[in-house]
Amino acid sequence: MSNLKGETNVEKPLHVAVLTFPFGTHAAPLLSLVTKIAEEAPNVTFSFFSTEKSNATLFSSSNEFLLPNIKHYNVHDGLPEGYVPSGHPAEPVFLFIKAMQESFKSGIDEAVKETGKKITCLVTDGFYWFGADLAHEMNIKWVPFWTAGPHALLTHFYTDLIREKLGTNKVDDVKTANFVPGFPELEASDLPEGIIDDINGPFSILIHKAGIELPRATAITINSFSSIQPIVENELNSKFKLLLNVGPFILTTPQRTISDEHGCLSWLNKHEKYSVVYISFGSSIIPPPHELAALAESLEECGFPFLWAFRGNPEEQFPKGFIERTRTRGKIVAWAPQVEILKHSSVGVCLTHSGWNTVLDCIVGCVPMISKPFFGDQKMNGRMIESVWEIGVTVDNGLLTKESIMKALEVTMSSEKGTIMRQKIMKLKECALEAVGENGSSTKNLKALIQIVTS
């Protein structure tokens, strides 16, 4: 696909290669960011590389922000011909990681041949340590995008220090990792997998190398805002050439319209202010059966209205009779317009896996959180929510039991502490709005990013 007619830069056609991590919520935010940049630079060609499965979702006809100067290319997913899954959920990720460097190189060669334009800038997921070498070989800029929070980025930068202090065995005892600069509240058990346990797995090696190579980047972009964690921000600024907070993305980049086909918002309109419990564990996580049962029992007993975005089959996975018994005050849907729900005045708390995107959604929506982390940066986000920002609680021992859920609901929905949480989250929201204002830090950083990528 060529550039828009008549707008080609004759002296040096600009061609940006975008390499995505096609799992979890990595590729979609990167496409949002690239779309924002492409809007501002219609004469620049953007080649977007992901797997066929990922691209089919991202570039579906329902995406109202597709631009003529962004073309997507499918790269090999790493799965062998006739692949039969072993049942290990991470196997497709490991196979992709094994093949990705060659897959992306082949994709880039195809895009260069098709457009007749050499790559002038490399934008990648923050996991892709090899972006440093690839950009060096091509003598171009490398701009990785970190999809998680600033505190997660800092721990990956300090992986070797953490391993030196804590060892590389799974931590059973409560040990603090308070030697990580700017993060005295951190406990070893909060750290993402692969930092001090299972360090030889494919994903652990990938992200360890990323922590080592990211200082070579021209600039690192992150879906965050400067004032959310100033001490960590200062520490990161001292480690990288340029750190650009350009979030929260829900306020700075184009957001696809999510249909409300299940009538969630009209249902919320019937409820009082701060009375509803909203539950969502992201796009891929379903708690184990015993925790699901405990959550259902707690919702039945607590009396609060609840709206639950549930990815599985409620009829099969919930306790028998639960749906019927709670029908008058509970609503269970397969898909929900989360951003709009969290802005609704009737929502009092969000029970969440604490993925970074959801944390930002809750801050912008001004909704306290009950954190039930599962993996990755989620435990660390839960620690931030409870101990640093004080805008929510983590369920006791990170487990959904009737006791832990009832306790968390009592604190967030019915106590003075819950009111204080709402006041604190309001201050964070105000900081976010200031950051994305006309002269805000995220606005200025976004302009700087666009200049770096498109010049």
How far are the Cα atoms of 161, 229, 231, 329, 453 from residue 109, in angstroms, in the given order? 38, 40, 42, 56, 20
Q: Which value, in Å, is the radius of gyration of the alpha carbons in the chain?
A: 22
Of 143, 5, 111, residue with least CA distance to 68: 5
| Helical spans, DSSP H, in 131-194 | 131-138, 150-157, 159-166
CA 441, chain centre distance (Å): 20
CB distance 233 to 226 below 8 Å: yes
Phi-psi label, residue 27: left if phi above 0, alpha if psi -120 to 50, beta otherwise: alpha
Tell me if residue 109 is catalytic: no
CB distance 413 to 304 below 8 Å: yes
What is the H or E stretch that residue 111 is in?
helix 91-115
- The per-residue DSSP string of 220-246 comes to EEESS-GGGSHHHHHHHHHHSS-EEE-
CB distance 337 to 256 below 8 Å: no
CB distance 80 to 193 below 8 Å: no
CB distance 340 to 268 below 8 Å: no
Q: Which position among 15, 26, 156, 353 bears the catalytic label?
A: 26
CA 447, chain centre distance (Å): 22
List the end-to-end C-alpha distance of the chain, in Å, as a whole number: 20
Hey, how many other C-beta atoms are within 10 angstroms of the C-beta on 147?
A: 26
Q: Which position among 15, 72, 77, 125 bears the catalytic label?
A: 125
CB distance 255 to 31 below 8 Å: no
**d(C-alpha 390, C-alpha 410), whole Å:** 16
**d(C-alpha 225, C-alpha 360), whole Å:** 10
Of 163, 124, 131, 132, residue with least CA distance to 20: 124
How far are the Cα atoms of 32, 42, 268, 337 from residue 27, in angstroms, in the given order? 9, 21, 31, 19
157 token code pair: 């930068």
- Residues known to be catalytic: 26, 125
